[in-house]
Structure 1
Amino acid sequence: MKNIFLLGLFFFSNTFFAQSNYSIDSSYTVKNTYTKLIKKYPFIEIAPELKNTNVTEIIDAVYGQNKNRILHLDAYFNETKKKNPAVVMIHGGGWRSGNKSHMKVMAQEIASNGYSCFAIEYTLSLEAKYPQGVYDIKNAIKFIKDNAKKYNVDPDKVAVLGCSSGGQMAALIGTTNKKTAFEDVNNKSKSSSKVQAIIDVDGVLAFKHPESSEGDMAAFWLDGTSDENPVNWKNASALTHTDKHAPPILFVNCSINRFHAGRDDMISILNKYKIYSEVHTIKDTPHSFWFFNPWFDETVLYATQFLDKIFK
């Protein structure tokens, strides 16, 4: 019995360390952001969690494995229909910090309006550089489509939504629908990672741009400055890939211009191909506005109205 116990402990320990043997930057949290903003915006409140009897929650579902650790997603799906449009949600944090729990409240709210929402864990820059995180999100999309029945998903109606650096990734994922260079060659799923809509909440569209001021955080993720690694800086910019294959896109932005660098140029291309786009700039708002009321409710309203227009 003692040997069995020790053997079990050995495997548990190995699993634990395999899952924990990577650096985590926990500096970007809702609470920390609230503490920074409350002095200038004394009226804000952290958006509360929503409990809706029509929404089923599955936390930490395994969708894949990256090197020595498992990757998870949190699912929030509406039970009233068997086929909901899906919304794949990407947290922010400068490609370095943050986690999937940051998307929980928004996922609950959007799911309650007839959607299946998925908050995705992905590889951050302390663990691996670009484009590994992009591969992870695309693999998660394939997993969701592979398991469409389980999560009440219509695999032909998938949107990708991201906030801040997650918004940058969402735009890149959507504009590279047709590009195999952004697919993980090790993923054997027969499903496509193609999405039919993008929601970019305060994510830049071009790293090297007159409006952009991305610096150390971008350089760390992109494995060098724009002078050291110009190829990554160009290829990681959604504006580079925007063409006739781009899906409809919603931009929700704060009042700080640098967080939508490249947006107007992208819209010009979308207009050329008659691809629908929509812009909402929330007046007098800081970055990370989506965590807090009154701006959270406004953000969700814009998102659900856009999703309803595209999918319903």
Structure 2
Amino acid sequence: MDSRYVTIGFLGFFFVFLIYSTSAYFIAQNLAADLEKAFRPINNLTITDDKRIVDQPFSISKLLQAVPTVSYRTLTYVTYDDTTLTLDYYESTVAGIRPCLIIIHGGAWRSGNSKQLPELNSHLARAGYHCAAINYRLTPQWKCPAPIEDTTAALNYLCKHADDLNIDTNNFILLGRSAGAQIALLTAYTLKHSGIKGVIDFYGPADMIWGYMVPTNPLVIDSRKTLATYIGGDYYEIPDKYAASSPIEFVNRQSVPTLVFHGLTDSLVFYEHSRRLCTKLHQHDVPHYLLELPWATHGFDYHLNGPGGQLSTFAIDYFLRVISIIKVRMVPYNQVLGIASSNVAAYSNGDDDFFSAERHFCYGIFTGFKWQCVEFARRWLLLRKTCIFKSIGSAADAWHELSSIERVTDEKKFSLIAHSNGSSVLPKKDSFLIYPRCRDLPFGHIAIITQVGSNYICIAEQNYRFHRWSGNYARQITMIVKDGGYYLRDHYKISGWMEIVDNEQLQPLNESSLEVIRMQQR
């Protein structure tokens, strides 16, 4: 070969490399600030310094570095009559109960598997996240919504086996590439699962109707045929199914935070998909960020330490810290965290290790020490049920020592029934939720169940977290049904819930009740 051609080829490669690297450098200068601006408003939370987030979004020195691999194990997550599906589970190298990403591969819904682009899975596992890379049913044998059903089945499997896999079921994030991004987005926006905290979209088709109307060059991919095979026909035959498969159609104010990556030169899935999606997210005030890469085409993250790979990995690290394991902006001691059940204030203890030793009285009745969890439970019971329970040594002791509560106006007792976590009895509103002692909760914990949904409960509490509530409850806890039992999944073990017998007979504290209390205190 003529050496002149070799030289020209080398210079051409160097010139392209210089353009990509220069562009990545300038994007990197503002990336952290842009991400902070996009995601800081989530639930009044703020990002704290974390060594697991790389110091620089882009570094030339990393371009030739390899990504250390993390081993995985293959698990069967669902069996149908005609097929069995597996996932590759990359366990976090950081010990303890950790968030989990469900990784959904690309391949035009007809090809690909869980082994696609595994480097990011290893990176995330080393950063403290579990990764479950799933296989799903492909065309032409199966059609939409089969992959959505498979992703839901994977989520249910991971929840069911959360104890064995050390998964924090309150912190799932869906991540998809190309066709997998459509699956991830549609699942995240349509599946009402309280544990899904965010979704990550790599160059995905978000608007299937627009995608049909504006096809790609058939020399690249016959996009109309691909969509028709996946959805079950041409748009003009089944327009409703195209709408039902379009993530953009399901964006609303309750949609989860969304991180989007797309190259401006992508010829397989046009950048316009992501622009349209982010416009819709903006219209509904959903926290989101679109990282557009001027030089990048489809699959730009193939090399994780390439320019696009470095930038997207930095953004993912940042995004995950915001929506899954962030620290909250602390509310100072003695200030209100939120209001439960219309009139019961929860106050900040400032720090879970702080004990004020200051006794608190409500209408002359001792409720406990400020602002411990037991004090809130007793005060809630007084204000909402005109009752009180006896003094206990710690919150954990309630599980074995409390058998009844007492109405303060006539001393009538109402029994408590204890249901262990996993009981066949569905948790009920106005029950006590009890946690046993553990290293992080040396006295256990007690909270009030204020709402029960199909796959979650809402609770009100004190001295657990110290951020302002976003609604009329402190936290939402995932509930799953397994073998006929109801299991509540939280960061710490739950003993169970204590139900008030004849709860409907109890009424909130009112003026006539207060008069009786005053007469008793004379």
Query: Same-fold call, TM > 0.5?
Result: yes
Cα-to-partner distance string for 1:243-286 (whole Å, 9 max, x where unaligned): 12210000011123643444334333433443210110122011
Distance 2:283 2:159 in 1: 31
TM-score (norm 1): 0.75
Distance in 1, Cα, partners of 2:271 & 2:189: 16
TM-score with structure 2 length normalisation?
Answer: 0.46
Q: 1-side partners of 2:64 and 2:226: how far apart?
A: 26
Q: Measure, in 1, the Cα distance between the counterparts of 2:182 and 2:69.
A: 29
The alpha carbon displacement at 1:48 in A equals 5.0
Distance 2:175 2:214 in 1: 21
- Offset, 1:231: 1.6
> Are 2:179 and 1:165 aligned?
yes
Query: C-alpha distance in 2, partners of 1:121/1:47?
Result: 29
**Over residues 11-50 of structure 1, what are the superposed CA-to-partner deviations in whole Å (9 max), with x where a residue is unaligned?**
xxxxxxxxxxxxxxxxxxxxxxxxxxx9x97899999552
CA distance in 2, matches of 1:224, 1:310: 38
Give the stretch that moved more between structures: 64-73 or 264-273.
264-273
AA aligned to 1:232 is: K
CA contact (8 A) 2:93 2:125 kept: no
Which residue number in structure 1 is paired with residue 451 of structure 2? none
Q: Counterpart in 1 of 2:261?
A: 252
Residues 1:261 and 1:225: Cα distance change in structure 2 (over 3 Å): farther
Give the superposition deviation at 1:68. 2.5
Aligned residue number for residue 296 of structure 1: 309
**Alignment match, 1:183:** none
Asked if the contact 1:77–1:116 (Cα under 8 Å) also holds between the matched residues in 2, the reply is yes
From 93, 98, 120, the counterpart of 1:84: 98
Which residue does 2:39 correspond to in 1? none
Could you tell me which amino acid in structure 2 is paired with residue 82 of structure 1?
A: G
1:215 lines up with 2:224 in the alignment:
yes
> 1:203-258: per-residue Cα shift (whole Å, max 9, x none)?
01101127853421111111111112212111000011111221000001112364
Task: Give the secondary-structure state (helix, strand or coil) at the position aligned to 1:102.
Answer: coil
Which residue does the alignment assign to 1:148? 162
CA distance in 2, matches of 1:104, 1:256: 24
How far, CA to CA, are the matches of 1:170 and 1:137 in structure 2? 8
Aligned: 1:235 with 2:244: yes
Structure 2 SS opposite 1:243: coil
SS in 2 for 1:62: strand
For residues 64 and 241 of structure 2, the distance between their equivalents in structure 1, rounded to whole angstroms, comes to 36
1:264 aligns with one of 257, 275, 279? 275
**Residues 91 and 48 of structure 1: CA distance in aligned 2, closer, same or farther (over 3 Å):** farther
The reply to whether residue 287 of structure 1 matches residue 298 of structure 2 is: yes
Q: 1:283 to 1:261 in 2, by over 3 A?
A: closer
Q: Does 1:225 align with 2:234?
A: yes
1:101-141 superposed Cα distances (whole Å, 9 cap, x missing partner): 00422111111111011100100112211111110011101
Question: Is the deviation greater in 110-119 or in 144-153?
Answer: 144-153
Aligned to 1:62: 76
Contact 1:205/1:260 (8 A) holds in 2: no
Letter in 1 for 2:102: V
Q: CA separation in 2, counterparts of 1:208 and 1:311?
A: 33
Q: Is the Cα–Cα contact under 8 Å of residues 48 and 105 in structure 1 kept in the other structure?
A: no
Alpha-carbon distance, 1:297 to partner: 2.7
Q: How many aligned positions are there?
A: 257
1:309 aligns with 2:322: yes
Residue aligning to 2:116: 102
Range with greater deviation from structure 2 (42-51 or 120-129) = 42-51
Give the corresponding residue for 1:3: none
Per the alignment, do residues 170 and 304 of structure 1 end up closer, same or farther by CA in structure 2, a change over 3 Å counting? same
Alpha-carbon contact 1:206-1:239 (below 8 Å) kept: yes
Report Cα offsets for 1:280-299 as digits up to 9, x if no partner. Answer: 01220110111124132332
Over 3 Å counting, the alpha-carbon distance change for 1:260 and 1:245 in structure 2 is farther
Counterpart of 1:59, as a letter, is R
Contact between 1:202 and 1:251, CA under 8 Å: does it hold in 2?
A: yes
* Contact 1:200 1:251 (C-alpha < 8 Å) held by counterparts: yes
Aligned partners of 1:110 and 1:80: how far apart in 2?
10
Percent of aligned positions with the same letter in both sequences?
23
Highest RCO, 1 vs 2 (Cα 8 Å, sep ≥ 6): 1
Measure the CA separation in 2 of the matches of 1:155 and 1:108: 21
- Give the AA of the match of 2:69: K
Equivalent residue, structure 2, for 1:278: 289
Q: 1:86 to 1:266 in 2, by over 3 A?
A: same
Larger Rg: 2
Distance 1:90 1:101 in 2: 10
Divergent runs of 4+, >6 A: 40-47
Say which is worse superposed, 43-52 or 292-301, in terms of deviation.
Answer: 43-52
Deviations along 1:39-77, whole A, 9 cap, x unmatched? Answer: x9789999955235xxxx433201011222211000112
SS in structure 2 of the partner of residue 309 of structure 1 = helix
Is the contact made by 1:139 and 1:193 (CA closer than 8 Å) also made in structure 2? no
Unaligned runs of 5+ in 2: 1-12, 21-62, 216-222, 326-522
Partners of 2:149 and 2:241 in 1: CA distance? 15
